[in-house]
Amino acid sequence: ASFQSGSRSILLAVGGENKAVVDYAVDLNSKNFDSVLRDTPATHAIVEFFASWCPACRNYKPHYEKVARLFNGPDAVHPGIVLMTRVDCALKINNKLCDKFSVSHYPMLFWGPPSKFASQGMEPKEEKSEIRMIDDGRTAEHLVSWINKHLGSSYGLDDEKFENEHLHSNTSDPGQIARAVYDVEEATAFAIEIILEHKMIKQHTRVSLIKFLQLLVVHHPSKRCRKGSAEVLVNFDDLCPPDMWSPDKQEVVSDGKGMLGNFQICGKEVPRGYWMFCRGSKNDTRGFSCGLWVLLHSLSVRIEDGESQFAFRAVCDFIHNFFICEDCRRHFYQMCSSVTVPFNTSRDFALWLWSTHNKVNKRLMKEKASLGTGDPKFPKVIWPPKQLCSLCYLSHNRRENGTSQIDWDMNEVYKFLTGYYGKTLTSLYKEKGHLGDEVTDGAIVDLVASTNAVVVPVGAALAIALASCAFGALACCWRSQQKTRKPRRSWN
């Protein structure tokens, strides 16, 4: 099979009806090699160079596939860790590629960070090269134990999906949040799917969606989601016409999801169908609700002071109108409604969201039966625990009745939140300058140029203006306007 770039196409190719006959390892060639390896969320890759005429390679294939089953495809037991691929050096198209990697025998396996494969190629003899040959992968058992040795893991060929023993609690390793940037993309795409599936865009909820999209356009940690959100916003009236759920429209658009259903807000590779940081030990735990929290926190540490009240309203209204869990949104909205003084600083909003999330955690710690979203392997804690941020704790007294009283150092908590959901969250992300305004604005300026700025539909423009009062017709210009504008109370 030949694959287009990116893991979405990989998932499609290995999933579906032909699963029994389709390979798990991804076929690469000189055309898709760089893009697949650059775009994968996996932290490691194996490339097998083989030749289709080579009998040893044919014998080796079932071994390689047995390992690939663990890591590749939508039913992977351990997704997002190792992308397993192969290149057929017997194909003329791959001659240069195989030469670049100095392939001296078949099959020959290399290991390394995917992006390093995708860059200039390797210098295998250089000691510092992060790409290395796998010297003992001659059977599935050997290959898995080679991987385990290098990752410090204990994967086994018999591992089954879910009831997953190998998950580490994310409270113990602060670096794990870096993987959450992919979950934030997943959650964004997933949220739109749910909204459409449940026909939640109504006359009275449109403005709320527009406001939330405005927030995403400027502050989503993923550049492609920022770009996609801007495209949705600019074309809002076409993608979500006020009568989008009327029976005549339903005939025109596919699967009842309207035009927006054909649009992938974070690009064609998302949703991928699996979670990384938010992966639960069971099929139906964590996932989306975890990804949504992470998205909200990562927005809260990116906004500017003048946007804090707007962001607060946008988040509260979004959850109220579009979060499918009835009890969750009701509780959350109660907490929103209890805020009486408008937020003036992004710090205040980020800390409010943090403490609100902790109130939910506290409630769920007590409630024996949560709404089924809880995961026994990820017990609720008051967050961040000391292992993640000891400086956040001024004092921590445990009472006799089992409860505890924590005195937080709010400055340290805020510092921690901005580091954790700001820089660390995007540290694996492969786009340069994703936190930098230049890139953000650059992408948006490109978009404005390509969509001819004045085309914002009247309805959407009106809604945007209504939603934010101070915004111009284009959310895309929002950021530059805000920089020269003092915080406005009219956003309340």
Ligand X SMILES: Cc1cc2nc3c(=O)[nH]c(=O)nc-3n(C[C@H](O)[C@H](O)[C@H](O)COP(=O)(O)OP(=O)(O)OC[C@H]3O[C@@H](n4cnc5c(N)ncnc54)[C@H](O)[C@@H]3O)c2cc1C
Q: Interface with ligand X by CB under 6 A: which residues?
A: 170, 278, 286, 289-290, 292-294, 297, 319, 323, 327-328, 331-332, 354, 357-358, 360-361, 364, 370-371, 373-375, 378, 383
Residues 6+ apart with CB under 8 A from 284: 372
Q: Which is nearer to ligand X, 229 or 289 (CB)?
A: 289
In the annotation, is 476 catalytic? no
Please identify, using beta-carbon distances, which residue of 221 and 306 lies nearer to ligand X: 221
Kindly state the smallest distance separating residue 211's Cβ from ligand X, in Å.
16
- Residue 108: beta bridge partners? 49
Sort residue 16 into left (φ over 0), alpha (ψ -120 to 50) or beta: left
For residue 57, indicate whether it is catalytic: yes
Q: Whole-number minimum distance, CB 358 to ligand X, in Å? A: 4
Residue-by-residue DSSP string for 121-171? ---TTSTT-S-EE-S--SSHHHHHHHHHHHHT----TT--SSS-TTPPPTT
Select 30 or 418, whichever has its Cβ closest to ligand X. 418
SS3 content of the chain, % helix, strand, coil (to 5): 50, 10, 40
Instruction: Name the residue nearer to ligand X (CB basis): 47 or 215.
Output: 215
Q: What are the beta bridge partners of residue 405?
A: 397
In the complex, least distance from residue 316 CB atom to ligand X, rounded to whole angstroms: 9
Return d(Cα 252, Cα 230) in angstroms, integer: 24
Short-list 395, 356, 364, CA closest to 381: 364
Distances (CA, A) of 406 to 184, 356, 403: 29, 15, 10
- Name the minimum Å distance from CB 287 to ligand X: 8
Closest approach of Cβ 292 to ligand X, in Å? 4
Residue 377: CB minimum distance to ligand X, A: 9
Nearer to ligand X, 284 or 431 (CB): 284
What is the number of other CB atoms lying within 10 angstroms of the CB of residue 136? 11
In the complex, the smallest distance separating the C-beta of residue 357 from ligand X, rounded to whole angstroms, is 3
Q: Which candidate in 57, 89, 240, 476 is catalytic? A: 57
Per the omega criterion (within 30 degrees of 0), is the bond before 241 cis?
no
Instruction: Please give the Cα distance from 368 to 240 (Å, whole number).
Output: 41
DSSP-assigned letters across all residues of 191-228: HHHHHHHTT---TTTHHHHHHHHHHHHHH-SSHHHHHH
Task: Determine which one of 54, 325, 328, 477 is catalytic.
Answer: 54
Q: Where are the alpha helices (DSSP H) in 278-345?
A: 288-300, 308-322, 326-337
* Shortest CB 360 distance to ligand X, Å: 5
Rounded least distance, CB 272 to ligand X, Å: 18
Taking the least distance from each CB to ligand X, the nearer of 86 and 272 is 272
- HSE value, Cβ hemisphere, 13 Å, CA-based, for 233: 35
CB closer to ligand X, 138 vs 357 = 357
- Cβ neighbours of residue 454 under 8 Å, at least 6 residues apart? 473
Cβ closest to ligand X, residue 207 vs residue 365: 365
Q: Decide: residue 246, CB within 10 A, 0-12 exposed, 13-18 middle, 19+ buried.
A: exposed
Please report which helix (H) or strand (E) contains residue 180, including its range.
helix 180-197
Q: Torsion-angle region of residue 325: left (phi > 0), alpha (psi -120 to 50) or beta?
A: beta
User: Which of 382, 435, 436, 386 has the alpha carbon at shortest distance from 412?
Assistant: 386
When the beta carbons of 178 and 290 are compared against ligand X, the nearer one is: 290
Report the C-alpha gap between 101 and 177 in whole angstroms.
33
* Cα angle: 203, vertex 227, 469; to 5 degrees: 45
Catalytic center residues: 54, 57
